[in-house]
């Protein structure tokens, strides 16, 4: 007989918990203020990927840029020696990949964060197409003047061993001198 009242109490406790309403939370429109990177990734959809990097340079510089494109682990194309130059100060590098028709266009932009002065360059058109899925990996922390480094890698397609093609685009960078105080690309 004593077991019965205890089981009824347990059932009553579980039933009360199950019927409880979730807490309320106020919600406000986000029509003003700063937009974050994760917001932009959601808003821009699948046809544009980008990475932004902020850095400060004590001297005028040229950033030497390039890429390596691999298809299913095999090297497809390489391009190096292109550059964006700017003057000393707080700078932002933007790397973009946009889907146009059945190809992806790789572009770079560099500008001074205080003045807005800078330059852009479309570097390559890659035969990646509208492969489903993409990811960013291997982001470095330091760009060196004495050696080229992989800034990051974009992967398009599913990771092996899943079936289907995949493309890796490794973005390569190196800092160089800008003795003529140029703002532009080469």
pTM over 0.75, yes/no: yes
Please give the residue that has the higher pLDDT: either 132 or 98. Answer: 98
Asked whether the predicted pLDDT for residue 92 surpasses 50, the reply is yes
Question: What is the structure's pLDDT at 6?
Answer: 47
Asked whether the predicted pLDDT for residue 101 surpasses 70, the reply is yes
CA distance 83 to 65: 5
**Which tens digit of pLDDT belongs to each residue from 113-161?**
999 999 999 999 999 988 877 888 877 888 888 789 999 999 999 877 7
CA distance 103 to 57: 34
Tell which residue, 167, 136, 175, 166, has the closest CA to residue 152. Answer: 136
Question: What is the structure's pLDDT at 90?
Answer: 95
Per-residue pLDDT band for 45 (boundaries 50, 70, 90) equals: low
Cβ-contact 151, 53 below 8 angstroms:
yes
Question: What is the structure's pLDDT at 11?
Answer: 47
* Domain ranges within the chain, ordered by starting residue: 46-185
The percentage of residues in the chain with a pLDDT greater than 90, rounded to a whole number, is 50
> Measured between alpha carbons, how far is residue 44 from residues 37, 72, 96 in Å?
10, 27, 12
């Amino acid at each position: 007989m004593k077991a019965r009242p205890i089981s009824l109490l347990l059932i009553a406790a579980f039933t009360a918990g199950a019927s409880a309403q979730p807490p309320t939370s106020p919600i406000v429109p986000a029509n003003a203020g700063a937009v974050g990177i994760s917001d932009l990734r959601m808003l821009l959809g699948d046809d544009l990927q980008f990475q932004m990097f902020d850095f400060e340079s004590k001297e005028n510089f040229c950033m030497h840029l390039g890429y390596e494109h691999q298809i299913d682990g095999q090297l497809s194309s390489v391009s190096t020696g292109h550059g964006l130059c700017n003057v000393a100060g707080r700078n932002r590098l933007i790397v973009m990949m946009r889907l146009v028709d059945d190809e992806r266009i790789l572009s770079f932009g560099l500008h001074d964060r205080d003045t807005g002065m800078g330059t852009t360059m479309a570097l390559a058109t890659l035969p990646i197409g509208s492969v489903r899925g993409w990811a960013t990996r291997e982001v470095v922390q330091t760009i060196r003047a004495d050696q080229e480094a992989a800034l990051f890698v974009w992967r398009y397609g599913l990771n092996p061993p899943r079936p289907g093609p995949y493309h890796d685009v490794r973005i390569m960078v190196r800092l160089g001198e800008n003795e003529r105080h140029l703002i532009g690309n080469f």
